[in-house]
Structure 1
Amino acid sequence: MATCHGRDGASDRSTGRRCPAVVLIYALGAASVLVPAVLIPVAATRWAPAAQRSRAADRLRVAVAGLTGALGRNGAALVVLLAGSAAVVTVCWPLGEALSRLEPSVDHPVFDYVHARRVDGWAEVNSFVTALGDRYPLKWVTVVAAVGFAIAWRHRRWWIPLIALPMQFVVEQYTQQILAVTVNRGHPPTDVGTYPSGGCARVMLTFGVIAVLAGLTWNVSRRGRIAIATALAVLVSVEGYTRIYAEKHWLTDVLGGWIFGALLLGVLVLTVLVAEGRVRPPARSVHVAPVEATTTA
Structure 2
Amino acid sequence: MPDPQILTITVLGVVLVPPVTYVLALRARISAAGRLAAIRDRLVDMRAGLDRSITPVGAFVVLASTVLTVVTGVMYALGRVVPHLQPLDWVVFRWIAAHQTDGFTAVMSVVTQMGNKYQCWIVSAVMVVVFALVAPRRRWVGLLVLGAMIVLQHYQQVGIADVIQRGHPPDSGGTFPSGASARIAAIYGTGLFLILRALGVSRRVWAGAWALVAVLMFVEGWSRVYLNAHWVSDVPPGWVNGVLMLLGFVFASWNLVPVRSRRPPGGVRAAPSGGRAGRSATARRR
Do the aligned partners of 2:182 and 2:239 also contact (CA within 8 Å) in 1? Answer: yes
Which runs of 5 or more residues in structure 1 are unaligned?
Answer: 3-21, 279-297
- The superposition leaves residues 144-171 of structure 1 with CA deviations (integer Å, 9 ceiling, x where unpaired) of 22123223322x2221012222221111
Runs of 4 or more off by more than 4 Å in structure 1?
50-53, 190-193
Question: Aligned residue for 2:126?
Answer: 144
SS at match of 1:157: helix
Q: Give, in whole Å, the separation in 2 of the partners of 1:85 and 1:121.
A: 40
Do the aligned partners of 1:244 and 1:251 also contact (CA within 8 Å) in 2? Answer: yes
Do the aligned partners of 1:151 and 1:158 also contact (CA within 8 Å) in 2? Answer: yes
Question: Aligned residue for 1:207?
Answer: 188
Q: Give, in whole Å, the separation in 1 of the partners of 2:212 and 2:172.
A: 28
Q: Give, in whole Å, the separation in 2 of the partners of 1:134 and 1:196.
A: 14
Please identify which structure carries the higher helix content.
2
Letter in 1 for 2:215: V
Which one of the candidate residues 66, 70, 74 is aligned to 1:83? 66
| Structure 1 residues 204 and 193: CA distance shift in structure 2, 3 A | farther
Q: Give, in whole Å, the separation in 2 of the partners of 1:224 and 1:241.
A: 26
| Structure 1 residues 144 and 213: CA distance shift in structure 2, 3 A | same
Question: Aligned residue for 1:57?
Answer: 40
- The superposition leaves residues 6-43 of structure 1 with CA deviations (integer Å, 9 ceiling, x where unpaired) of xxxxxxxxxxxxxxxx3222111112212321211221
CA-atom RMSD in angstroms: 2.1
1:132 aligns with 2:114: yes
Q: Give, in whole Å, the separation in 2 of the partners of 1:119 and 1:197.
A: 23
Aligned pairs for 1:90-101 within 5 A: 90-101=73-84
Do the aligned partners of 1:97 and 1:183 also contact (CA within 8 Å) in 2? Answer: yes
Q: Give, in whole Å, the separation in 1 of the partners of 2:21 and 2:41.
A: 23
TM-score (norm 2): 0.83
Aligned pairs for 1:1-297 within 5 A: 22-51=3-32, 54-103=37-86, 105-154=87-136, 156-189=137-170, 194-276=175-257
Structure 1 vs Structure 2: percent identity of aligned residues? 32
- The superposition leaves residues 116-169 of structure 1 with CA deviations (integer Å, 9 ceiling, x where unpaired) of 111111111111100111112222112222123223322x22210122222211
Letter in 2 for 1:96: G
- The superposition leaves residues 263-294 of structure 1 with CA deviations (integer Å, 9 ceiling, x where unpaired) of 0111221222133378xxxxxxxxxxxxxxxx
- The superposition leaves residues 74-112 of structure 1 with CA deviations (integer Å, 9 ceiling, x where unpaired) of 111110010110000011101111112111x21111011
**1:50 Cα deviation (Å)?**
4.4
Q: Give, in whole Å, the separation in 1 of the partners of 2:130 and 2:25.
A: 28
SS at match of 1:31: helix
Tell me the number of residue pairs that the alignment of Structure 1 and Structure 2 aligns: 257
Do the aligned partners of 2:115 and 2:183 also contact (CA within 8 Å) in 1? Answer: yes
Letter in 1 for 2:213: L
Q: Give, in whole Å, the separation in 2 of the partners of 1:264 and 1:71.
A: 22
- The superposition leaves residues 167-209 of structure 1 with CA deviations (integer Å, 9 ceiling, x where unpaired) of 2111110111111112212221389972111111111122111
Letter in 1 for 2:96: V
Which runs of 5 or more residues in structure 2 are unaligned?
Answer: 260-286
Q: Give, in whole Å, the separation in 2 of the partners of 1:45 and 1:186.
A: 38
SS at match of 1:54: helix
Q: Give, in whole Å, the separation in 2 of the partners of 1:129 and 1:192.
A: 27
Q: Give, in whole Å, the separation in 2 of the partners of 1:31 and 1:57.
A: 35
Letter in 2 for 1:129: V
